[in-house]
Every structure is written in C-alpha cells, then in structure tokens.
Structure 1
Amino acid sequence: MLGPVYFYAIVGGGLAGLQLALRLKDDVFFKGKKIAIIDPSFKIAKDKTWCFWEKGNSRWDSLISAEWHKGKFIATTTEENLELTLYSYKMLTSEKFFEYALAEIRKSEDFFLIEDEISKIDPVTMKAVGKKKTYNATHFFDSRIPSEYQETQDYTKIYQHFKGYHVKTETPVFNPNQFTMMDFRLTYKNSTSFTYILPFSATEALVEYTFFTPFLTEEEIYDKQLQKYLSEYLKLDNYEVLNEEQGIIPMTDFPFEKNNSPKITKIGTGGGWVKASTGYSFKHTEKKITKIIKNIKSGYEPSKDLFRSKYKFYDAIFLDVLARRNDKGEQIFSKFYQKNSVEEIFAFLDEETTFTEDLKIMFSLFDPEFIVSFFKKFRL
C-alpha cells in the first residue's frame, strides 16, 4: 500500500498559506519534508493591501509600501490624534507579498506549487480531491471556508465591505506622516460606516469607504460616498483615480476552530484567523503560524491553543451589539479612541492584555446594549 505523497499539503496559496509555507521553509526542523501548496492559480494578485501595527522591525519591512507613526480618529463632534510612540502602522500590498513569497518558496526543492481546486478532504483516507487529481498527505492545512458557515444562521455575521480609490491630486492635500484610522463625518443611513485614509505623499493616498454592517450594498453606493467625501471633505475638484480596490471581510463569532482535527488544521479566514471585531488578519496570521510551528515541534496537534476564549467572547459581544444596533458604531468607536491610549487599544486588539486592562477597556465602552449582548452570548 502506497504511503502519502506529501508530508504536508497546504490548500490555498493566499496570505495564510504562503506565510505558513515561508515559516516551514525557513525552519531546519522541516527540511526534507515534501510540502505541496495547492491553489487554483498562482498569478500575482494586485487587488488588495494589508495594514498592521507592530513594535520594532519585522521580516516584512523590506516589502512595506508605507509606514506611519501618527494617526487620527475623527467623529462628528471630536477629533483624536493618535501618537504611535511604541508602534508603527505599516502597509503591504498583495503584489509585493506574493512576489516575495512565491520567489522564496520556489527556491526550495521541498515545495511543490500545484494549480488545482480542492473540493473535499477525506479525514479518514487523508486524500484531497481536486478537479485534476487526488492528493495524499499526512497533514492538511486547509484555508477553505467551511460550507456550514454559509448555511448557518446561529452565529452573528457582520461584513466589513469596502471600496478604495488610490487618488492623485494636482495640489498638496494629504499629510503623508499621518493616516486616518476612521472618519465618521460621512455615514450612510445610520450604519457603522466611515472613511479610511492612507496617505503616501502630499498628493497621493488610498481613500477607502468602509462598512461594518450586517448587510452588503450596491457598487454605486461606495462610489457615491467616496466621491462625496473627496468633494465635500477633502475639497477636491481635480484628481485622478490611479487604481481601485474592493473587498468583503467576514467579522463573525462562528467557531471555525471546531473544524480542526488531529490531521486537518483550518487556516486563514477559513480557520477564523481574521480578528472578528476588526477584520485585521496579517499579524494575527503570523501569530497563529508561530504557535502552529511551536506545537508541531513540541509534539502537539498543530491547532492546540490557537485561540484564547476570553477574546472570542469579547468579540462576540461587540459583534452582537453592532448586528442589533448598527447605528451605534460611531458612538462606540468614539469612546474607544477618546478614553484609551493607542498603545492600550493596539495591545487589546492584539490580544495581549491582562484581565485588569480588559476591564478598563470595557468600562470605557460602557453602554446598556453591551449588557444585553453579554447575557445573550453568555447563555450560548
């Protein structure tokens, strides 16, 4: 009886799959193990940007397109300057990431890039069925979103959906040293919606209109809001749109981790690696992979202790409030940024706080709606 063809198979060559592959490639512990990365296409994607905050330097610094040490939060009645004394806020394009990752992976004889689409993985036979072939491995890292997520109505689902214009202006408009985390002055029909700005120079920036809502919207709504913001808030009459980006990110308390097993580990969005309350994924992916590598080398299941239950509970409460009272987004985020330092905020969102620090954040956000959601989710 023939044994598995691959030691590991990574299903999906996106952010999580390629970050995992890079870490496996760089660790001598995995030297000589045949590893497949299976994806429908390895064409370089140029359709998105990832932003993240971190202290100090990282392996991505040579790839980042921009970096900021100051930010701001704007609401209808307040404006907060965010001084990132311990952190920096960094932007990385998907094009640069994929070019780097694929070039590095192709240098290793242990890796095999396979263009195919996997329809199912049998946890007994450890066979992955593709449109072209069937693949065997001793362990699968699977980034596909489970079908039950699409079908269930038992969990809260918020969508972070957005469209951005990379604009170029004729005259200086932007402060290249300060990004805008959220600007709530232009909202859409009592929803949690805001503008996000990443300035690259005084005349170029990514201006993005973003929703955190239980519903999606038509294409023309994004364009209408972006054009209104550029005209009425940035006072722009003449500008050129160099590029556009658009996306939908799930923000949910669905228990993706329940699909993990001793021989199949869910990763990326399909593994619940997107931070449910923010939609950020880049650094959370890096942390999860660090834990997976440590688990494997210690003889544990790769998915052991990937999540901390208290933060999943906090996220579930927040999402429930937004789902029930989507009009309260500006009020909640205003309290968040007015009553906490940016260092406290980032540490909390990075899931690196003590319970005492958590309580400070919670009291700063106090609203009766959180009590309703607390008991609702606590019963579950």
Structure 2
Amino acid sequence: MNSSQIPHFDYIFTGTGLASLMTIYKMILSGKFSDKSILLLDQDVKKINDRTWCFWEKEESIWNSVVSKKWDLAFFANENFRRDLDLKPYSYNKINGLDFYNFVFGAILNQSNITFLNEKVTDINELETHVFVGTEQNRYTCQYLFNSIYTKAFAERQNKYPVLQQHFVGWFVKTKEEVFNPEEVTFMDFSVEQKGNTRFMYVLPTSKTEALVEYTLFSEKLLPKEEYENEIQIYLKKLGASQYQILEKEEGSIPMTCYPFWERNTKRVLNIGTAGGWTKASTGYTFKSSDKKSSALVEFIQQKDFQMKDFHKKSKFWFYDLLLLDILYRKNELGSSIFSSLFKKGNPELIFKFLDEETTFSEDVKVILKCPKIPFIKALFRVIFLSNKSN
C-alpha cells in the first residue's frame, strides 16, 4: 500500500477509555467537529461491565442519565473513630462502566464522520506534517492524535517522582441479612489491619442487601489476589453477613504519581487519561479530573494553529499531590492518620472542593493544616531540594 492509499483522518484516538470517550462525546455535543473525520482504535470492544466510576458533584452533569446511584451521606472510620459525613451540597455518584460505554457509543453511532475499529495499535510515529498509526491489521495517518494507551514503563523506569498504585479487588455481593445502609457510601474505612500500608474498605451499597465491597490499598506493590479476597470476606463477616452471593467481581490498579506525562506531548500528539497524567495523583480518582480536562481540551482544539504540547498547565495542586505521595512512598503506613486527620473534624464540602482543585490558597491552608505537620514539613524540604537540584 503506498502513502496515497493509507486512510487519512483529521483526528485519531488510540484507546477508547474514559478520557477518549468523554472528549469524543463533548466534541459531538459542541457541534464544531461534524466536518472532521475521526477514527477510534481499540483492541477492546467495550461490551462488558469492567469498572465502576464514582465522583462527587453539586449539580447534575451531562452524565446524569447514566448515574445508577447517588448518595448524600458518607461514612469514614479508622480503628479509633467513626464519622457520618453529610455531603451536601455534593452528592456522591456511581456510574457502571458498561452504561457509560453504551451511552457514548450510542451517540457515536449517529455520527457519519466518526469510525470505530476494533484493532490493536502497534506503532505511533509523528512526522512533520502528520502522524502515522499502525495496527496489527492496517495503517492510518492523521493530523492530530490523542493517545490514551498507558505505558507504565515511562513512570516506573525513573526515580525522581514516587510511583504508588491505587490497587483493589471488589465484589458485588447480595447478602442474606440486611447489613448495608443504601443511603450512605463507605468512603474510607481504615479500621481494617493496615499491615504497614495504607489499606481501607470502600463500600457502595445499592440496597440493604446489595453492595460493591472493595478492599483498596494506596501502596507500591500489589498483593496476591487471595489476600484482597480474604480481607473482603473478613469485612463482610464483621458487618454481619453470614451468607452472601458474589454477583460480579472487579479489580484494578491505577498509577498514583506526579510524573510529568505531559512532557511527552508534542506538536501533533497529546497523551490523555492516565497516559497523560489526568488521574488525580493523590487519590487515584479519574472521572472528575478527566471530565474537566476533556472539556478544556475540546475548547483548546477549537483554537487556530494550536500545538498539542501547549495544552497542559501545571498547578499548585500538582505540588500538593507530590508532597502527599512523597510521604506515602517513604512511610506508607501514615495514610490512615493523614486521611483521618482530614475527615475527623474537617468540613466535607471544603475537602471535596480541595480534592476537585477548586479552592483558594487560604482554603488550601485550612485543609493542609489539618494534616500531621512533621511529615509534611519534611516532605516540603525534600521536594524543594529536588526542585532546586533539577534546575
């Protein structure tokens, strides 16, 4: 096949995860890209319920029609205290992966300018005037490429920035006894044994007898799968569930790092999603961050003569995340005390606003001063030293 026979597109998305699908959907909603040819490439056809996304929101978002459950209350605990949190004016929202995929692909099917192909990407090569993309079956070119295929070696083969994982196994269970409160999400329950790590249970109840129960860690190394599942069994027993049925299982590992993925963005190639550092580094939350960045991206690519490498803007919150990750990387067992200090007496509305990266500097100070002082002061000096060393 010569170059004139290679199919050419205005935009190609390599990988159709959350960030890609959010961006595509907002491009459709904008009505500004109907004259642009767009290709989506992914080896996964997105036909299974492979994940659950949660986010907090004040008003209804464009995703409201696929939100399967909302909570106005949250529970936080460690081995010493328990607290019920009134989330208002926020609500905590749950979206099932398959519902989201079906919603966005339903919109894509109505667009004659958008093509989805179930092919595995093997090669991306940027040239001066276009980008070449190879798959196991075909070759394509485009003006601009959005890549969401995560290459973990980029972050893990360096030692300047800590790399932790938010890793978990979750069971969707139906219990014989009524052990859940369907009006309250268990946000973080650190009362489980910490074993030298940051470990907690996360529970999304949909009825008195049904919930997603996840055993989650913020740490460097993954565990054998049976260890997560043993902890889920112990926790269910503690809740009073003597008999239960496992309806579905899910597992995942999300990188938590301040590694500057955006430095790999170029004139024509933009890394998005986890591959672009869109995950909130200090918590592993992806949905809200991707929602904001995809909206900004759709505005950005409507500008004249844009270059992909100019999209990212570093903020003060990147620095705050770096401090927390530095502490958890060196002393992973401090996670429970840090998060507990925030939630024990802190204002939930202010904490969520801070995690959404919407606080003023004076509000930042209010949140940060609730954290244990000495670890953060030590981390501050280490990060400043690291910064001066690299300049």
- 1:298: Cα distance to partner? 2.9
- SS of 1:365's partner is coil
- Structure 1, residues 155-178: CA drift from partner, whole Å, max 9, x if none? 201111111111111221111101
Change (3 A) 1:307 1:197: farther
- Look up the match of 2:111: 108
Q: Tell me how far apart the structure 1 counterparts of residues 69 and 340 of structure 2 sit (CA, whole Å).
A: 26
Give 1:16-27 correspondences, 5 Å limit: 16-27=19-30
Q: Tell me how far apart the structure 2 counterparts of residues 298 and 133 of structure 1 sit (CA, whole Å).
A: 31
Give 1:15-54 correspondences, 5 Å limit: 15-54=18-57
- SS of 2:279's partner is coil
Q: Tell me how far apart the structure 1 counterparts of residues 372 and 234 of structure 2 sit (CA, whole Å).
A: 33
- Structure 2: which amino acid aligns with 1:160? Q
- Look up the match of 1:183: 189
Change (3 A) 1:26 1:168: same
Which of 322, 339, 348 lines up with 1:342 in the alignment? 348
- Structure 1: which amino acid aligns with 2:144? H
Q: Tell me how far apart the structure 1 counterparts of residues 194 and 90 of structure 2 sit (CA, whole Å).
A: 32
- Look up the match of 2:198: 192
Which of 136, 139, 156 lines up with 2:144 in the alignment? 139
- SS of 1:265's partner is strand
- Structure 2: which amino acid aligns with 1:341? N
Q: Tell me how far apart the structure 1 counterparts of residues 333 and 301 of structure 2 sit (CA, whole Å).
A: 45
- Structure 2: which amino acid aligns with 1:34? S
8 Å CA contact retained: 1:292, 1:302: no
8 Å CA contact retained: 1:292, 1:303: no
8 Å CA contact retained: 1:288, 1:306: no
2:241 matches 1:236: yes
Q: Which stretch shows the higher mean deviation, 76-85 or 270-279?
A: 76-85
- Structure 2: which amino acid aligns with 1:84? L
- Look up the match of 1:279: 284
- Structure 1, residues 95-117: CA drift from partner, whole Å, max 9, x if none? 11111111210110010111222
2:275 matches 1:270: yes
- 1:303: Cα distance to partner? 5.5
- Structure 1, residues 29-53: CA drift from partner, whole Å, max 9, x if none? 1111100001113141312100000
- Structure 1, residues 166-222: CA drift from partner, whole Å, max 9, x if none? 111122111110111011111241210010111100111111110011111101100
Q: Tell me how far apart the structure 2 counterparts of residues 47 and 290 of structure 1 sit (CA, whole Å).
A: 24
- 1:75: Cα distance to partner? 1.0
8 Å CA contact retained: 1:48, 1:245: yes
Q: Tell me how far apart the structure 1 counterparts of residues 244 and 348 of structure 2 sit (CA, whole Å).
A: 32
Change (3 A) 1:268 1:355: same
Change (3 A) 1:43 1:358: closer
- Structure 1, residues 241-286: CA drift from partner, whole Å, max 9, x if none? 1111111111011111111112111101101111000111111111
8 Å CA contact retained: 2:41, 2:118: yes
2:92 matches 1:86: no
RMSD: 1.5
Q: Tell me how far apart the structure 1 counterparts of residues 159 and 22 of structure 2 sit (CA, whole Å).
A: 31
Q: Tell me how far apart the structure 2 counterparts of residues 148 and 50 of structure 1 sit (CA, whole Å).
A: 25
TM-score by length of 1: 0.96
- 1:4: Cα distance to partner? 7.0
Q: Which stretch shows the higher mean deviation, 297-306 or 254-263?
A: 297-306
Q: Tell me how far apart the structure 2 counterparts of residues 378 and 110 of structure 1 sit (CA, whole Å).
A: 49
Q: Tell me how far apart the structure 1 counterparts of residues 176 and 117 of structure 2 sit (CA, whole Å).
A: 46
Gaps in structure 2 of 5+ consecutive residues = 387-391
8 Å CA contact retained: 1:4, 1:138: no
Q: Which stretch shows the higher mean deviation, 188-197 or 303-312?
A: 303-312
- SS of 2:342's partner is helix
Which of 128, 131, 138 lines up with 1:126 in the alignment? 131
